[in-house]
């Protein structure tokens, strides 16, 4: 099946994805739940409604590409790839463990993964390369990318932003997970990012800001992107740790799983009650 015609309810899928994120990081005793939970609706929408992909043929040359530039948010991507049938969901139990397929940061030998990432600020440049290749070859596939707000501290994000606008890459659609938190704390306290929509617009991008937890707004943003020229930036306002009360807006859960069974059950209950 190629992407767009799944009938399952997106809210229900997102709940399953969130549970998987919390469980797999708990089982690994390691990983990044916060920035996975903030990006859950974005990736769920892309993989269950939008991307033109084929799990039976993950390297199909004309597929849409997805680049997880914030490469630590593997729990959300791996959970979704498993649910979409790119690999056996049992592999999620090996996440971050020795001799396992599912590395801590995303790597391209995993079925369904287009680009290796993890050192922040590189995936967007990789995405520019993928989108440029489509332009050279006059192919119609699109390149979707997810970058972080903390990641936007990296100068190379802005090198890539200049590049994408200069090359007029209309097939590049980027989501920025604006959850306001990075490893050490709140983004605006660590390094003021300010008006990211305005910044990207001044770099020559089409840019809008949406509620990154609303499927309706994500859908409308993608429709908007189809009618804009040049690279598109969708600033998705999100809540880090979304769905688990004690994780929400809590910088502590950037790179830390739930600490014990009791908290795990509390988290799963929160998600079920969303």
Partner 1 sequence: MMMSNELNWLPDLINKLDKKSVREAYGNTLVSVGADKSVVVLDADLSTSTHTSMFQKKYPERFFNVGISENNMMGVASGLSWTGKKVFVSSFAIFATGRAYDFVRQSVCYADSDVRIVATHAGLTVGEDGATHQMLEDIGLMTGLPRMRVFVPADALETEEIVRYVYENRGPFYVRLSREKVPVVHDSESFRFGRAETITDGDDLTIIATGILVSAAKIATSYLKQKGISARVLNMATIKPIDSDSILKAARETGRILTAEEHSIYNGLGSRVSEVVTESYPVLVRRLGVNDTFGESGKSWELMDKYGLNPMGIVNKVEEMMKVTV
Residues 82-141 that bind partner 1 (CB under 8 A): 107-108, 114-119, 121-134, 136-137
Of 212, 154, 200, 196, the residue nearest 36 (C-alpha): 212
Backbone angles phi, psi at 256, to 5 degrees: -140, 130
Q: Using the 8-state DSSP alphabet, how is residue 247 labeled? A: T
Query: Least distance (Å) from partner 1 to the CB of residue 170?
Result: 16
Helix (H, G, I), strand (E, B) or coil at 229: coil
How far is 83 from 55, CA to CA, in rounded Å?
A: 10
Q: Among residues 79 and 125, whose Cβ is nearest to partner 1?
A: 125
Residue whose C-alpha is closest to residue 147's, from 244, 234, 17: 234
CB of 125 to partner 1, least distance (A): 2
Among the listed ranges 24-32, 161-169, 218-226, 246-254, the one in contact with partner 1 (CB under 8 A) is: 161-169
**Does residue 167 interact with partner 1 by CB under 8 A?**
yes
Shortest approach of partner 1 to residue 143 CB, angstroms? 8
Who's near 247: CB < 8 A, 6+ residues apart? 33, 34, 37, 240, 241, 253, 258, 267
Comparison of 203 and 253: residue with beta carbon closer to partner 1: 203
Interaction pattern, residues 47-86, with partner 1; x per rule: CB under 8 A: --------------x-----x-------------------
Q: Which bin fits 3, alpha (ψ -120 to 50), beta or left (φ > 0)? A: left
Closest separation in Å from C-beta 186 to partner 1? 26
Residue (82 or 157) nearer to partner 1, CB? 157
Q: C-beta of 205: minimal distance to partner 1 in Å? A: 15
Please say which residue, 8 or 62, places its beta carbon nearer to partner 1: 62
Size of the site for partner 1 (CB under 8 A): 34
DSSP 8-state secondary structure symbol assigned to residue 258: -
Question: Least distance in Å: CB of 142 to partner 1?
Answer: 13
Q: How far from chain centre, in Å, is Cα 196? A: 18
Q: Could you tell me which residues are beta bridge partners of residue 143?
A: 65, 172
Q: How far is the CB of 161 from partner 1 (least distance, A)?
A: 9
Q: Give least dist CB 172 to partner 1, A.
A: 10
Provide DSSP, 95-139: TTSTT-SS-SS--TTSTT------STT-HHHHHHHHHHHHHHTT-
Which position among 30, 52, 156, 249 is part of the footprint of partner 1 (CB under 8 A)?
156
Q: Which residues, 6+ apart, have CB-to-CB distance to 9 below 8 Å? A: none
Cβ proximity to partner 1, 63 vs 254, nearer residue:
63
Choice from 160, 225, 239, 247 touching partner 1 (CB under 8 A): 160
Give the interface with partner 1 as residue ranges (CB under 8 A): 61, 67, 107-108, 114-119, 121-134, 136-137, 155-156, 159-160, 162-163, 166-167
């Amino acid at each position: 099946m190629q992407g767009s015609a799944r009938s399952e309810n997106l809210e229900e899928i997102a709940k399953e994805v969130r549970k998987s994120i919390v469980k797999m990081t708990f089982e690994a005793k390691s990983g990044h739940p916060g920035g996975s939970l903030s990006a859950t609706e974005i990736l769920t929408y892309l993989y269950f409604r939008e991307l033109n992909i084929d799990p039976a043929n993950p390297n199909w040359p004309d597929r849409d590409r997805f680049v997880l530039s914030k490469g630590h948010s593997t729990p959300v991507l791996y959970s979704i790839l498993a649910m979409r049938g790119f690999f056996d969901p049992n592999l999620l139990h090996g996440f971050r463990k020795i001799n396992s397929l599912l590395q801590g940061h995303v790597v391209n030998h995993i079925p369904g993964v287009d680009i290796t990432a993890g050192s922040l600020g590189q995936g967007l440049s990789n995405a520019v390369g993928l989108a440029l290749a489509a332009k050279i070859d006059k192919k119609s596939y699109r390149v979707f990318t997810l970058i972080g707000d903390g990641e936007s501290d990296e100068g190379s994000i802005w090198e890539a932003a200049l590049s994408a606008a200069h090359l007029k890459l209309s097939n590049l659609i980027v989501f920025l997970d604006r959850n306001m938190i990075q490893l050490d704390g709140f983004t605006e306290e660590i390094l003021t990012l300010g008006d990211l929509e305005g910044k990207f617009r001044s770099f020559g991008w089409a840019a809008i800001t949406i509620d990154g937890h609303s499927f309706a707004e994500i859908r409308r943003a993608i429709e908007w992107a189809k009618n804009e020229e040049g690279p598109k930036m969708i600033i998705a306002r999100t809540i880090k740790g979304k769905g688990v009360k004690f994780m929400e807006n809590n910088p502590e859960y950037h790179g830390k799983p739930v600490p014990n069974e009791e908290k795990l059950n509390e988290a799963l209950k929160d998600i079920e009650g969303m």
